[in-house]
Structure 1
Amino acid sequence: MNRITATYDIESPVGVARAAQVLAGEQSTGTFTRLAAETDALRERSAARIENIQITGTSATPSLPCRKTGDSYERGTVTISWSLENFGTSLPTLLSTLAGNLFELAELSAVRLIDMHLPGAFALDHPGPQFGAQGTRDFLGGHKGPVIGTIIKPSVGLNPSETAALVQTLVDAGIDFIKDDELQANGPHCPFDKRVAKVSRVLKAHADKTGKQVMYAFNITDEIDQMWRNLDLLEKHGGTCAMVCMNSVGLTGLRAVRERSSMTIHGHRAGWGIYSRSPDVGISFPVMQKLWRLAGADHLHVNGLANKFTEEDSVIAQSAKSVQTPVCDTGPAHIAMPVYSSGQTIWQIDPARCLLGNDDFIFCAGGGIMSHPAGAGAGVIALRQAAEAARRGIDIQEFASQHSELKAALKTFSRPDIRVGHS
Structure 2
Amino acid sequence: MSSTHDDLVKSLNSKQEAYVNLELPEPTNGQYLLGVFHLVPGGKFNILQAAAEVAAESSTGTNFKVNTETPFSKTMNALVYQLDLERELVWIAYPWRLFDRGGNVQNILTYIVGNILGMKEVAALKLLDVWFPPSMLEQYDGPSYTVDAMREYLNVHDRPILGTIVKPKMGLTSAEYAEVCYDFWVGGGDFVKNDEPQANQDFCPYDKMVSHVKEAMDKAVKETGKKKVHSFNVSAPDFDTMIQRCEMIINAGFEPGSFAFLIDGITAGWMAVQTLRRRYPDVFIHFHRAGHGGFTRPENPIGFSVLVLSKFARLAGASGIHTGTAGVGKMKGTPKEDIVAAHEIQYMSSEGHFFKQSWSKIPVSDKDAINLVNEDMAHHVILEDDSWRGMKKCCPIVSGGLNPVRLKPFIDVMGNVDFITTMGSGVHAHPGGTQAGARALVQSCDAYLKGMDIEEYAKEHKELAEAIEYFTKASKDAM
C-alpha separation in 1, matches of 2:444 and 2:176: 30
Pair 1:397 & 2:459 matched: no
C-alpha separation in 2, matches of 1:207 and 1:390: 25
Query: Within 5 Å, which residues of 2 pair with 1:346-357?
Result: 346-357=404-415
Pair 1:201 & 2:215 matched: yes
Question: Residue 51 of structure 2 aligns to a residue in which SS?
Answer: helix
1:4 corresponding residue in structure 2: 33
What TM-score, normalized to structure 1?
0.87
From 79, 82, 102, the equivalent of 1:49 is 79
From 360, 370, 375, the equivalent of 1:330 is 360
Q: 1:342 to 1:37 in 2, by over 3 A?
A: same
Shift of 1:361: 0.9
Query: Within 5 Å, which residues of 2 pair with 1:200-239?
Result: 200-222=214-236, 223-237=238-252, 238=254, 239=258
Pair 1:28 & 2:59 matched: yes
Q: 1:203 to 1:144 in 2, by over 3 A?
A: farther
C-alpha separation in 2, matches of 1:155 and 1:357: 30
Shift of 1:346: 2.0
Pair 1:267 & 2:267 matched: no
Q: 1:48 to 1:299 in 2, by over 3 A?
A: same
2:141 corresponding residue in structure 1: 127
C-alpha separation in 2, matches of 1:144 and 1:202: 27
Aligned length: 398
Pair 1:248 & 2:278 matched: no
Matched AA of 1:275: F
Matched AA of 1:173: G
Q: Which runs of 4+ in 1 moved over 6 A?
A: none
Contact kept? 1:123, 1:334, Cα under 8 Å: no
Contact kept? 2:186, 2:223, Cα under 8 Å: no
C-alpha separation in 1, matches of 2:126 and 2:60: 22
Pair 1:37 & 2:68 matched: yes
Shift of 1:410: 2.0
Pair 1:293 & 2:308 matched: no
From 278, 287, 303, the equivalent of 2:324 is 303
Contact kept? 2:443, 2:461, Cα under 8 Å: yes
What TM-score, normalized to structure 2?
0.77
Q: 1:122 to 1:46 in 2, by over 3 A?
A: closer
Cα deviation code 1:332-371 (max 9, x no counterpart): 2321111111111123222322334332211111222223
C-alpha separation in 1, matches of 2:261 and 2:345: 19
Question: Residue 426 of structure 2 aligns to a residue in which SS?
Answer: helix
Contact kept? 2:330, 2:402, Cα under 8 Å: no
Contact kept? 1:123, 1:328, Cα under 8 Å: no
Q: CA RMSD in A?
A: 2.3
From 292, 297, 317, the equivalent of 2:339 is 317
Contact kept? 1:137, 1:144, Cα under 8 Å: no
Contact kept? 2:295, 2:304, Cα under 8 Å: yes
C-alpha separation in 1, matches of 2:437 and 2:147: 24
C-alpha separation in 2, matches of 1:391 and 1:56: 46
Cα deviation code 1:280-304 (max 9, x no counterpart): 1111111111222222211211222
Query: Within 5 Å, which residues of 2 pair with 1:90-129?
Result: 90-129=104-143
Q: Which runs of 5+ in 2 are unaligned?
A: 1-29, 349-356, 362-389
C-alpha separation in 2, matches of 1:225 and 1:143: 37
Shift of 1:183: 1.1
Q: Which runs of 5+ in 1 are unaligned?
A: 58-75, 418-423
Question: Residue 111 of structure 1 aligns to a residue in which SS?
Answer: strand
C-alpha separation in 2, matches of 1:188 and 1:377: 27
Contact kept? 1:207, 1:214, Cα under 8 Å: yes
Identity of aligned residues (%): 28
Shift of 1:8: 0.5
Shift of 1:195: 0.8
Cα deviation code 1:366-399 (max 9, x no counterpart): 2222233344333223222322333444443344
Shift of 1:40: 5.8
C-alpha separation in 1, matches of 2:439 and 2:279: 36
